[in-house]
Structure 1
């Protein structure tokens, strides 16, 4: 696991954008397949990618996207749906076809069947080249709450009360936050060829410490990333505050081999 510690959230966002740009440009005409996250963590990175598209000619033509998760009961046009979030924060502002951006259908009549369909669709597309993740204050990735199986597939999950409270700021009131979600499972996420996780702020410090230096455990589902061969964590100084080996990670990054 490569841990990149930057001074500010803006510095971290540029580094995340570097990772995504390299995959998009490297895919050429065949197009990259990106797994994208929502929430506050990736927004600055999306803003930077839009800037690079507009000012530096970064093209996303041919790129395909699979979203991590969606609230059960919300259609793609609901103001708080993740399908709408990614359009507003990224895909409406770059050269990517709407049809190339896939999300679990939160308004599906049978959410369990929809989860199975979506998981199969990722596999049929030959998987994800780069999966972008955030992390919750309790260490969850996607909506794989503490206690989730580390072999889990895309499925319906019940949210923890803490997650509901964390996400209530996006809704008119806490009672409006759906209790159920469709989410890629840990097993699904770990099949991505590269994973980039980003987090900033002191409220993420404990989760990052557990993810990077703690035991692999379903209590902190982000710790499952330790089992993946190509993971890059991009965090700021505040999110790195509880890492015992932070000085080593900084030293290691300064001495990365040039390729």
Structure 2
């Protein structure tokens, strides 16, 4: 794994955006895997700036998002569909029909999982998958204990994940209990993975990723087996940590 450290979250966001935008310019037809949450929002801001100032086009890019809450419609402001529209899609020239996000209100969620996998096979493999790191080691919504061989599936969210995500809702009771997520094997099929890690609350998880054993109890540990993983981490991960930069 190639590890790049930056002095701040802002620099991490700039570095990540620069890396992604260059990939898009080099391969205008690329398939890009996207993540949500707090960590990638800064990167998305800089991708928008790059699109406006440098003219990087997403017209021929195809995107796949990692996950979506079960029971949440696209119109709900807390849906990941709404998140992507707000933080990226409505600001760039990507075509709506080229952006794929699991359907959280599908009448048949298991069928939706199979359908999403079919779309991944049709358009994939993903050229570059963006990931964040959960405090408990989850990637996507693949919680500890998820099989490394898993494909897109329904997952019951742990209390710790729901608590972490409650900052986006008025109350923790409003946080959905289940989600549709790309499986670990689905994620590992990407040609390249860019893992973004920011915030002091991720220090223990980052150390576990680097020094811990590969185990389904810590889903992100499987990334050690991927042939092309780049990690970008900000200084808060390293401060008061045993990690040597």
Q: Is this a same-fold pair by TM over 0.5?
A: yes
Contact 2:155 2:181 (C-alpha < 8 Å) held by counterparts? yes
Shift of 1:245: 5.0
User: How many angstroms does 1:111 deviate by?
Assistant: 0.6
Going from structure 1 to structure 2, the CA distance change for 1:109 and 1:49 (only over 3 Å counts) comes to same
Q: Distance in 2 between matches of 1:172 and 1:129?
A: 36
Deviation at 1:242, TM superposition (A): 6.9
Contact 1:200 1:239 in 2 (8 A): yes
Aligned to 1:160: 158
Please give the per-residue CA displacement for 1:141-187, whole angstroms capped at 9, x wherever unaligned.
10000111111110000000010111111112111111010000110
TM-score if structure 2 supplies the norm length? 0.97
d(CA) in 1 for partners of 2:203 and 2:241?
8
Query: Is contact 2:207-2:243 (8 Å) kept?
Result: no
What is aligned with 2:129?
131
Contact 1:205–1:242 (Cα < 8 Å) also in 2? no
The unaligned stretches of length 5 or more in structure 2 are: none
Q: Unpaired runs of 5+ in structure 1?
A: 248-259
Assess, with a 3 A threshold, how the Cα gap between structure 1 residues 243 and 154 changes in structure 2: closer, same or farther.
farther
Q: Which residue, 177, 197, 202 being the options, matches 1:199?
A: 197
Encode CA deviations 1:185-233: one digit per residue, 9 max, x unaligned: 1100000001001011110111111112211111211111001000001
Q: Does the 8 Å CA contact 2:71/2:176 hold for their aligned counterparts? A: yes
Q: Please say if 1:15 is aligned against 2:15.
A: yes
State the match for 1:239 in structure 2. 237
SS in 2 for 1:80: coil
User: Which whole-Å deviations, capped at 9, do the CAs of 1:19-41 have from their partners, x for residues lacking one?
Assistant: 2112201113xx11100000001
In structure 2, distance between residues paired with 1:55 and 1:139: 36
Alignment of 1:45-124 (within 5 A): 45-124=43-122
Counterpart secondary structure, 2:78: coil
1:6 counterpart = 2:3 = no
Alpha-carbon shift at residue 241 of structure 1 (Å): 4.0
Give the count of matched residue pairs: 245
Provide the residue aligned with 2:221 in structure 1: 223
| RMSD over aligned Cα atoms | 1.2
CA deviation after TM superposition for structure 1 residue 61, in Å: 1.5
Q: Distance in 2 between matches of 1:55 and 1:196?
A: 24
| 1:42 shift after superposition | 0.1
User: Equivalents in 2 of 1:216, 1:243: separation in Å?
Assistant: 21
TM-score between the two structures when normalised by the length of structure 1: 0.92
Task: Tell me, yes or no, if the aligned pair for 1:16 and 1:234 is still in contact at 8 Å.
Answer: yes
The 2-side partners of 1:32 and 1:212 are apart by 29
| 8 Å contact kept, 2:21–2:50 | no
